[in-house]
A and B are shown apart, each in its own frame.
Chain A
Amino acid sequence: MADAQSTTPSAAAAPLVRTQGLTRVFTSRGSLLGRQRSLTAVSDVDLDIPRGQVTGVVGESGCGKSTLARLVLRLLDASSGTVSFDGTDLAGVSASGLRALRRRMQMVFQDPYSSIDPRYSVRDAVLEPLQVQGVRLQAADRRDKVESLMAMVGLNPALADSFPHQLSGGQKQRVGIARALALQPEFLVLDEPTASLDVSIQAQIIALLEELQRDLGLTYLFISHDLGLVRYFCNRIVVMYLGRVVEILPEPLATVRHPYTRALMDSTFEPDPRRRRVVTLLRGEIPDAFKLPAGCAYAARCPRASARCESERPLLIDAPAATAGHRLACHHPLEP
């Protein structure tokens, strides 16, 4: 990935994807007689996704990372703000234009087979994106396409006629990746692609994704709850908490400044007993997303919180005394 990391100035100047003020509000009725409630799943997110790099978005349930993934591909419409892909504002694109763009941007889901007909064989599943896009192939070309895609993701082509229930979790995820690659996209959004897998299989899939990224020069947006994995896999890390970006690390090993990122770091289980750490037991839990506080959403759990944090929301600004590109939303950041 050394090549991917050395960005040329022009590539850095023109990210493949850019979001500005991206916001998504969901409304729901609390109960039968309850009044309508609204939840801001993603709030005012400005994000650049550089070409040929892996950008990681990390956070826990309810932080908005999966909603962000869907907004970026316009699988969901934004309530406000914009997403542009290679300079094109996705909101202004017609349905047919969007379909054409979708060839260039694809998604890998946590459980690929919850979105695929269980009666589809591996062959059918891998070819479906081509059919949706109206790509017509001769029988021989179809066979070649299936075989080359399966080989690319490390699946034995003999499995082409297998059905989902005959595959292991890792094999299903390889099919999900093969589907995403069928149209030769430039940009993949990976939404927790290994969250439901054993660690041994997770490592296989991550190794495969690394290889594909390097060989095909892909741009990834990698969504995960696992900061240890994100620090290994990603070039840049975006940390989200309850719908907002709280910190952006310009490089994976940058010194963490936000207390929440620190808590995430302390929660990773490093496989080294010489580096045991004692987790500080907290009383607070993640607050209800329907009842967000006026100030910093993390204040209720934060050991550094002051009265100011409860009333005044910190804005995302350049972190003081840090590498360029290090952004931070905290009134009382950790020392560099």
Chain B
Amino acid sequence: MLLLEVRDLSVTIGPLQPLDRIAFTLDKGSILGLVGESGSGKSLTAMALMGLLPLIGGRVSQGSVRFAGTELVGLEETRYRALRGRRIALITQNPMTSLDPMLRVGAQIDQVGMLHRGLTAAAARQRSIELLDQLRIPDATTVHGQYPHQMSGGMKQRVVIAMALAGDPELIIADEPTTALDVTIQAQIIQLLVDLVRQRGLALVLITHDMGVVAQACDGVVVLYAGRVAESNSVDAVFAAPAHPYTQALIACIPRSGQASGSLRGIPGIVPSVAGYSSGCRYHPRCSLAQARCQTEAPTLQARGSHRVACHFAGTQGSPNG
């Protein structure tokens, strides 16, 4: 069942347009990976969905975000506030941007339940401890009474996830939720999020720069490059036959088990800054397949079934990264 539909979403900040006609859909009970390098517009997309653009002086200049039948673009702030934390929750990369260092973590989770779900203090506390326990936190009652500084990074991120769940949301947006954590903890947190989506019928937008995370955890994927969608489809289809040279290159950045040494390449160059976008296809300066046409003519996002790709030479297998 369709929960979120983003169409032609463009965002401007002053004279700059860092997001250009982003489009994707997300069903209930599924996980969408939003992937790309730093500077590709992933976090800005999250802010646009959360209605937080005014905080950074940005605004939606065109397009639509429909969440469970409600248009979010242009929604009054008071109504947005009723959605945020309640029906749509955000998990950020650094748990300390979400936690107050001066308050016991339990009180912070309780607040969400009291504010968004009208629970009494006692009911909120009981619910918070249940959530912590479901997130595999040992001795949840003790942890409920601790301060953030008494916890490891992985534990803090679990607390932030508990806060996100306390409002009983339908949609969670997780922006690089495990980047700062140790690898075994990272795998645990991703698995927890996947289990939550499956068990509760939530929907999750998982923002990452790592195609390995996408392959392991997501149902669908949207590859962003320099503020535009390069390619999107189901994860299985994209990994079986990546059509955009950028998608191919991103996948090839992560060594596979048994990959011969000397065969890893990376992507030459870096993502341009929003003030320095090139004409034509924005990926052409780094692309192994680029021709003269790519320098002048921006490829449009072509749809075939569930597949979307923006490349004049889509489907051509380049040498992975050129």
Select A269's contact among B215, B252, B266, beta carbons within 8 Å: B215
**Given the complex, which residues of B lie within 8 Å of A121, measured CB to CB?**
none
Q: Which of A40-48, A77-85, A130-138, A278-286 lies at the interface with chain B?
A: A278-286
B259 at interface, CB cutoff 8 A? yes
**Given the complex, which residues of B lie within 8 Å of A283, measured CB to CB?**
136, 138
A231 at interface, CB cutoff 8 A? yes
Shortest beta-carbon distance from A112 to chain B in Å = 17
- Please, how many angstroms separate the alpha-carbon atoms of A276 and B262 in the complex? 26
**Given the complex, which residues of A lie within 8 Å of B239, measured CB to CB?**
271-274
A231-B253 in contact given A271-B211, A277-B216, A286-B152 (Cβ < 8 Å): no
Select A202's contact among B184, B236, B266, beta carbons within 8 Å: B266
A168 at interface, CB cutoff 8 A? yes
- Please, how many angstroms separate the alpha-carbon atoms of A157 and B264 in the complex? 25
- Please, how many angstroms separate the alpha-carbon atoms of A158 and B14 in the complex? 32
A204 at interface, CB cutoff 8 A? yes
B213 at interface, CB cutoff 8 A? yes
A38 at interface, CB cutoff 8 A? no
The B-contacting residues of A in range 208-240, CB under 8 angstroms, are: 210-211, 214, 225-229, 231-233
Count of chain B residues with a beta carbon within 8 Å of a chain A beta carbon: 49
A267 at interface, CB cutoff 8 A? yes
Query: Is A61 a contact of B136 with CB atoms below 8 Å?
Result: no
Shortest beta-carbon distance from A284 to chain B in Å = 7
**CB-CB nearest in chain A for B155:** A285
- Please, how many angstroms separate the alpha-carbon atoms of A283 and B185 in the complex? 11
**Given the complex, which residues of B lie within 8 Å of A268, measured CB to CB?**
183, 212
- Please, how many angstroms separate the alpha-carbon atoms of A136 and B264 in the complex? 38
Query: Is B256 a contact of A270 with CB atoms below 8 Å?
Result: yes
Query: Is A199 a contact of B210 with CB atoms below 8 Å?
Result: yes
**Given the complex, which residues of A lie within 8 Å of B266, measured CB to CB?**
200-207
**Given the complex, which residues of B lie within 8 Å of A281, measured CB to CB?**
136, 188, 191-192, 195
Query: Is A286 a contact of B182 with CB atoms below 8 Å?
Result: yes
Query: Is B154 a contact of A285 with CB atoms below 8 Å?
Result: yes
Select A282's contact among B37, B136, B183, B209, beta carbons within 8 Å: B136
Shortest beta-carbon distance from A281 to chain B in Å = 5
B270 at interface, CB cutoff 8 A? yes
**Given the complex, which residues of A lie within 8 Å of B212, measured CB to CB?**
228, 268-271
Select B183's contact among A267, A271, A278, A284, beta carbons within 8 Å: A267
Query: Is A233 a contact of B216 with CB atoms below 8 Å?
Result: no
- Please, how many angstroms separate the alpha-carbon atoms of A264 and B257 in the complex? 13
A253 at interface, CB cutoff 8 A? yes
Binary B-proximity of A1-26 (CB < 8 A = 1, otherwise 0):
10000000000000000000000000
- Please, how many angstroms separate the alpha-carbon atoms of A206 and B152 in the complex? 30
Query: Is B216 a contact of A228 with CB atoms below 8 Å?
Result: no
A1-B154 in contact given A199-B211, A202-B253 (Cβ < 8 Å): no
- Please, how many angstroms separate the alpha-carbon atoms of A228 and B187 in the complex? 13
A128 at interface, CB cutoff 8 A? no
The A-contacting residues of B in range 64-120, CB under 8 angstroms, are: none
Select B215's contact among A228, A263, A273, beta carbons within 8 Å: A273
A170 at interface, CB cutoff 8 A? yes
A141 at interface, CB cutoff 8 A? no
Task: Among A1, A205, A206, A277, find the residue whose CB has the most chain B CB atoms closer than 10 A.
Answer: A206
**Given the complex, which residues of B lie within 8 Å of A286, measured CB to CB?**
152, 182
Query: Is B264 a contact of A206 with CB atoms below 8 Å?
Result: yes
B57 at interface, CB cutoff 8 A? no
Shortest beta-carbon distance from B225 to chain A in Å = 11
A207-B183 in contact given A231-B255, A278-B191, A282-B188 (Cβ < 8 Å): no
Select A279's contact among B38, B187, B215, B249, beta carbons within 8 Å: B187
- Please, how many angstroms separate the alpha-carbon atoms of A201 and B250 in the complex? 10
A335 at interface, CB cutoff 8 A? no
B235 at interface, CB cutoff 8 A? yes
**Given the complex, which residues of A lie within 8 Å of B305, measured CB to CB?**
none
B261 at interface, CB cutoff 8 A? yes
A60 at interface, CB cutoff 8 A? yes
A279-B191 in contact given A200-B250, A204-B266, A225-B183 (Cβ < 8 Å): yes
A266 at interface, CB cutoff 8 A? yes
- Please, how many angstroms separate the alpha-carbon atoms of A15 and B264 in the complex? 28
Select A267's contact among B187, B236, B270, beta carbons within 8 Å: B187
**Given the complex, which residues of A lie within 8 Å of B161, measured CB to CB?**
none
The A-contacting residues of B in range 143-200, CB under 8 angstroms, are: 152, 154-155, 182-188, 190-192, 195
Query: Is A207 a contact of B264 with CB atoms below 8 Å?
Result: yes
A232-B215 in contact given A170-B270, A285-B152 (Cβ < 8 Å): no
Taking beta carbons and an 8 Å cutoff, which residues of A are in contact with B? 1, 60-61, 168, 170, 198-207, 210-211, 214, 225-229, 231-233, 253, 263-264, 266-274, 276-279, 281-286
Q: A61-B182, A271-B251, A281-B195 known; 15 other A-B pairs, CB under 8 Å?
A: A60-B183, A201-B37, A204-B268, A211-B262, A228-B255, A232-B264, A253-B257, A264-B183, A268-B212, A269-B216, A270-B215, A272-B256, A279-B191, A282-B188, A285-B185
Taking beta carbons and an 8 Å cutoff, which residues of B are in contact with A? 37-38, 136, 138, 152, 154-155, 182-188, 190-192, 195, 209-216, 235-236, 239, 249-259, 261-262, 264-268, 270, 321
- Per CB-CB distance, the 4 closest pairs between chain A and chain B, nearest first, are A269-B212, A203-B266, A204-B266, A232-B255
A/B interface sample: 19 pairs, CB < 8 A:
A1-B261, A60-B184, A200-B250, A200-B267, A201-B270, A203-B252, A203-B254, A210-B262, A227-B183, A253-B258, A268-B183, A269-B210, A270-B216, A271-B214, A271-B251, A279-B191, A282-B184, A285-B185, A286-B152
